[in-house]
Structure 1
């Protein structure tokens, strides 16, 4: 016990919501997920007899320094899809990293490509990226990294403002050396990604 400033050994009132799991439960959560990575949070909660939320279980795992992995989403590819992927790879597989450093990657339609807009920006070229090619878009790795950082920064507050704060913090961390190293690494992987498409005949790759 530690004597407090008020001359007693009682705990002073503390601010903030108390943790809903104990240290032993935190270790049990981490061990259970590590032993069976395909386990769902519902299963873990039932096995460990926990009353906390699924998000809390995920938070405890992330806070332990581990990272969960979702199975990679691989859209169904038709023969036509594979042909288009091959065409794109043949066009750009030999481009150097300096070329990819000038490309803006996005995973949603956030830029208009109508004739008027393009006529005002003749210096901008839209690459013929195939829509069913998440493995050819390095921004997927950036969003995954941001999701992990948001989970690590989660303080069990579920309000909209807390979500925005965590998202902004995660985004700002990308400008730090570690974040910059990640973005540079995934962008530099574009030649390898496209060569993998060629190796697989337009099919799915490891990315």
Structure 2
């Protein structure tokens, strides 16, 4: 924990200088003028030095917490079990009399913070088995194998239910299964789409093709994009294996 300003070494040094000047015989008003502080401040620390011989600030009790230990434990437990709820929903669910910001403060004190959850498709047991099998099969491959591999992909837009907007979890646990917001595509509309729109741009078929080629060539002129992808393949496969076919951080 960072030192409070009143216990900062520079502040303590100023108080020590104050006492040293006083012991040398300088009057209190002159000390206050010399150090740029009030007379009351000088008088208080001189008196404190005479009575207790210390120059550090006494610890303060502060305002008592509005939550009991039991309520704090209930907040932590609820956030772990229903971590997609908002702080308002947690407060309302537990019927707590304080504001949601107090709930957030207790969660932060417990090492639980609010993040945007990772949104991924639901993986069936068959999906996980196939992903794990692929990773195990190709992990031993040498870098030369991936350098001669052609990678293809397409963007698919699908109508899905609105995912959760937040997730209460400890740091560095984004891709743990319980912290992923799973979405289902079954029974919903899907379409593959490659679109581009810009004010004043040529929207003819020839113009779109020209734009696509320009974007592709700009990628080709940055060789690190593809080389970094190839170099990351072993790490990607290892993460899939560690997740037993589940989602990874890639």
Shorter-chain TM-score above 0.5: no
Q: TM-score, structure 1 length as denominator?
A: 0.40
- Structure of larger gyration radius: 2
User: Which has the larger share of strand?
Assistant: 2
Higher relative contact order (CA 8 A, sep 6+): 1
Q: TM-score, structure 2 length as denominator?
A: 0.33
